[in-house]
Every structure is written in structure tokens, then in C-alpha cells.
Amino acid sequence: MYFVVSKTLGFFSAPTNLIVCMALLSLVLLCFRRPIGLKLGIAAMIALVLAGLSPLGNMLLTPLEQRFPGLRYPDQVDGVIVLGGSYDRVRGYLSTILLDDNSHPMIVVAGLAQRYPNAKIVFSGGTAFPDEFVPPEATMAKQLFTSFGIQPERLVIEDQSRNTEENARLTFGMIAPKPGSHWLLVTNAYHMPRAVGAFRNAGFDVTAFPVGWRTNGWRDFFWPSPFVTENLRRVDVAMREWFGLAVYRLLGYSKSFFPV
């Protein structure tokens, strides 16, 4: 039940979803000659223009991505934890591995496995909506990592989690990390603050290794992308993360709202 509620709230945390719903409701109200329908339609249009043509997306996304701005390579780690969400399930029926625009965490694994030859390589990510015709992401991740030349005995695959909190909790239960052990956490830069909060709350000592930045840092803060669709996407991604940070702090999944 919690999972369904969280996904429903997640849908409405994306501003473009709300804008479309507002526009549809406006149309229905106008069909019934309700004056408020026009006001709602105007509000939806203003919101669309603001999200699509202003730097709002960058202003929301940049603080998330710059919370852990640098790529830090610790001298030694016990394992590298890679979060799921990078496998293209839409075309997963093909007999190959297809990565989407969030695929950076999967790509850097090969280099990290070579840099830390004694470290465990952990993939954490289940399937929210199972499909008998599409292989689970965890299965494809194992296949991909093996193709990188990583020995199967180094791999730990957690395939039951459906969100970041479950990533952290189920991975901790599977690995049972020893006190004093240190782990490298790999995920997209905008998602890193929430991921770090969840994994530290679960008991991991993690160093953030963000990848896949969508902005060029603070210099883009006041400048929108030249593409409306990209600005809309950035607003959606950022708002979902800010919403997630607030929920995780409220529910106790993270010890702080904006982990450092």
C-alpha cells in the first residue's frame, strides 16, 4: 500500500503532470461553462511557460547536483554500490542491453572495478512493475558487469528494492557490512543527496561518487537550456527529488533533509 501511495504522490510531484491535469480539468470545466475553467487554463499556461522558458529547472537542479560536486576516489573501499534505474525496460525485449539517459552509473563500473580490484561490486535495484516479457534490471546489470570482465564472485545483486529507501535497507541486510567498512555510492548527481541520506541512515559509511550531471554547475543557475523540453524535464526531475528529500526526512529514512 505504501509503495502505491508513494508512486501516486511521485506522479503528482512532477510539475508537468500537474500542468497537464490542470489543462484537462480546465477543458472539462469550460465544457460545462464554468468560469473557473478559464482561470485554471490560464494558470496552466503560465506554469507551462515558466517551467519551459525560464531557468527554473536549473535553479532547482543545480543545488542538488552540487551538494557532492567532485569525483572523489578514496584510497581504498570495501565495495562499490551502484543504484538501479538505468536499464531501458521499454525496449528490454530485445536480446541486448540498452541504457537510457540515466545510464552513467552503469558505465563507470568498469573503471571503478579496475581501480579497486578487491572491492565488491554491488548492484541494487528491483522491478517496481514486473513484466514477464522483460528481463529484470538486476539480471541485465549482472550480464553487463560480467561483460566488463568483472568476476562473478565479486558481484552482489540485490533485486528486490523498488525505491531508494529499499535500496539502502535491503542492501544492508544482504551485505551486513562490518563496522569500519567503507563503501563508494554511485548514482546520478541530482539523486545523490537522497541516496546518501538513505544509505547512511541504513548504517553504511559511504562516499558519494556522483555521475551524470544535467547542468554545468552554478554558472547555469540563471540560464535556461535552449530547449523547452529539456527545461521541463529538469523541473520535473528536480521537484521529484526535493519532494523525495522532504518525505524521507519526515518518515525517518534520512537523518537530515539535505545530507552533506
Task: Give tens-digit pLDDT for 7-26.
Answer: 677 788 899 999 999 999 99
Percent of the chain predicted with pLDDT > 70 = 88
Of the pLDDT bands very low, low, confident and very high (cuts 50, 70, 90), residue 234 is very high
Same domain, 186 and 100: yes
Residue 14 lies in a domain: yes
Per cent of the chain over pLDDT 90 is 75
Co-location of 97 and 174 in the same domain: yes
Phi, psi at residue 258, to the nearest 5°?
Answer: -135, 85
Rounded average pLDDT over 226-237:
96
- Domain holding 128, by residue range, is 79-211
State mean pLDDT over 65-72: 88
Q: 84 and 199: one domain?
A: yes
Q: Do 146 and 51 reside in the same domain of the chain?
A: no
Residue 46: how many other CB atoms lie within 10 Å:
11
Number of domains in the chain: 2
Task: Tell me the average pLDDT across 39-48.
Answer: 97
170 lies in the same domain as 236: no
Nearest to 247 by CA among 257, 237, 239: 257
Give the integer Cα–Cα distance in Å for 162 and 128: 5
The answer to the question of residue 219 being in a domain is no
Virtual CA dihedral for 131, 14, 4, 213, nearest 10 degrees?
60
Residue 188 lies in a domain: yes
| Average pLDDT of every residue of the chain | 90
Q: Specify the pLDDT at position 9.
A: 75
Note the pLDDT tens digit of each residue in 79-135. 999 998 755 444 544 445 556 566 788 889 999 999 999 999 999 998 766 666 667
Burial of 97 (0-12, 13-18, 19+ CB in 10 A): middle
Cite the beta strand spans of the chain per DSSP E.
Answer: 79-83, 120-124, 155-158, 183-188, 206-211
Average pLDDT rounded to a whole number, residues 213-229: 94
Same-domain pairing of 114 and 196: yes
Question: What pLDDT was estimated at residue 88?
Answer: 47
The pTM of the full predicted model, rounded to 2 decimals, is 0.89
- In this prediction, residue 140 has a pLDDT band, given cuts at 50, 70 and 90, of confident
